[in-house]
């Protein structure tokens, strides 16, 4: 490694060590995850699937895969254990976006209709944004939120009955309330649609019992393995057994080539960790920390979208402060507090500016923060915003 590149990495390591990390989609992995990510497994090509998989696949397309076959099968077994499920699982997606792409490919054709949550209301780029493959390949319809930012389940039902989608999607990247999977499943069944859940943000909470589970209700479930699961960056797809062959084919050869075996092994480490009592205690603290910090912002007079939080994140609507999300994000960067600008329901500014910020508690809880620490940070952010208001 060149001394220049090593210095860059060290600089980032120092930033991660010193900054207060509040980006809801980030976390800090264990030393064991890092060790496996840097292992010899990165050298191995393994297109295809372990030969003992029962989803009708043809096995691997390269020799010398007996060791990685064992690792991938173990990884699959461990993730089923994490979520107490007998669903089929594919651990090969390189990311949450890849997982969603393959999930759509498995049951839809281009031009089919998906009913999902709009990006401005808390959804994700891959949930139908016009600049993303999902919005380009499929006909998108979006359900609305109520005046306080909560999902309007009556609107979900009305839209489903009107547009008769082939797939209804539940999941979000910036939504602070529990998702009613049973309500979504009932609506999907009533119109003959597949029901898919993207639980990337809340997967750790589902694993620890701090959020209702979509297993047994959804046909397809995707997630990332980082965020609240505190594993390597990557994706997973779970599905009912009757969709296993379609899902596997949609991942390989449908949308990916060789799987990243070092990442799959690191996913297995994360699954082992997620089965522990320590992980459950960690997630419980994440939720308590999020609630305490959110309530402090409300006490300080800020507008919190939905009026509170049930999970690891919340959004602050900065409209009445006169500031943009970008201004606040950049000012906090100077104070070594990291968060991200975010659109809010009814957004009037561009995605480059936004009217809100998103705050998450998973990463700093990993560093040992408790409620009092997050209340202190909320007050620091408040001081920064007031200073910024005075300066503009």
Options 26, 44, 45, 240, the catalytic residue: 45
CA distance 369 to 292: 12
335 is catalytic: no
Cα(76)–Cα(353) distance, integer angstroms: 41
| Catalytic site includes residue 227 | yes
Instruction: Give the Cα separation of 70 and 49 in Å (integer).
Output: 11
350-364 as b/e, with b when 16 or more CB fall inside 10 Å?
A: eeeebbbbbbbbbbb
* Catalytic site residue from 53, 60, 230, 233: 233
Q: Is 386 a catalytic residue?
A: no
Active-site residue (options: 198, 210, 317, 347): 198
CB 10, CB 23: distance < 8 Å: no
Helix (H, G, I), strand (E, B) or coil at 265: helix
Candidates 26, 47, 112, 155; catalytic one: 47
Catalytic residue at 219?
Answer: no
Write down the catalytic residue from 126, 222, 224, 309.
224
Among 368, 378, 325, 363, residue whose Cα is nearest residue 347: 325
198 is catalytic: yes
* C-alpha to C-alpha distances, 258 to 49, 51, 153, 236, 261, nearest whole angstrom: 10, 15, 40, 15, 9
Residue 220 DSSP class: E
Annotated catalytic residue within 227, 246, 341, 358: 227
- Catalytically annotated residues: 45, 47, 198, 224, 227, 233
């Amino acid at each position: 490694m060149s001394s220049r590149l090593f210095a860059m990495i060290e600089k980032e390591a120092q930033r991660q060590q010193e900054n207060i990390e509040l980006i809801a989609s980030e976390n800090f992995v264990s030393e064991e995850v890092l060790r496996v990510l840097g292992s010899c497994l990165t050298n191995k090509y393994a297109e295809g699937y372990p030969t003992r998989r029962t989803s009708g696949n043809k096995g691997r397309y390269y020799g010398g895969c007996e060791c990685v076959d064992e690792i991938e099968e173990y990884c699959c077994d461990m993730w089923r254990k994490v979520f107490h499920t007998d669903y089929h699982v594919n651990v090969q997606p390189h990311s949450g976006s890849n997982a969603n792409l393959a999930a759509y490919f498995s049951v839809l054709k281009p031009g089919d209709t998906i009913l999902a949550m709009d990006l401005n209301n808390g959804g994700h780029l891959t949930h139908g944004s016009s600049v993303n493959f999902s919005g380009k390949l499929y006909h998108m319809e979006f359900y609305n939120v109520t005046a306080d930012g909560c999902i309007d389940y009556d609107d979900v039902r009305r839209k489903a009955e009107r547009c008769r989608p082939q797939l209804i999607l539940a999941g979000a990247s910036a939504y602070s309330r529990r998702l009613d999977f049973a309500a979504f499943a009932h609506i999907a069944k009533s119109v003959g649609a597949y029901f898919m859940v993207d639980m990337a943000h809340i997967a750790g909470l589902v694993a620890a019992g701090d959020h209702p589970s979509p297993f047994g209700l959804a046909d397809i479930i995707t997630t990332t393995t980082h965020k609240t699961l505190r594993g390597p960056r990557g994706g997973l797809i779970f599905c009912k057994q009757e969709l296993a062959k379609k899902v596997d084919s949609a991942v390989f050869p449908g949308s990916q080539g060789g799987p990243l075996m070092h990442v799959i092994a690191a996913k297995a480490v994360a699954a082992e960790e997620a089965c522990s009592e320590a992980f459950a205690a960690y997630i419980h603290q994440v939720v308590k920390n999020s609630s305490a910090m959110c309530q402090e912002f409300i006490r300080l007079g800020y507008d919190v979208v939905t009026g509170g939080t049930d999970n690891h994140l919340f959004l602050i609507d900065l409209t009445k402060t006169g500031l943009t999300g970008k201004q606040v994000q950049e000012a906090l960067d100077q104070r070594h507090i990291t968060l991200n600008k975010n659109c809010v329901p009814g957004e009037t500014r561009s995605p480059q500016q936004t009217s809100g910020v998103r705050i998450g508690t998973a990463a700093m809880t990993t560093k040992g923060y408790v409620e009092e620490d997050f209340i202190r940070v909320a007050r620091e952010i408040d001081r920064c915003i007031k200073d910024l208001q005075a300066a503009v």
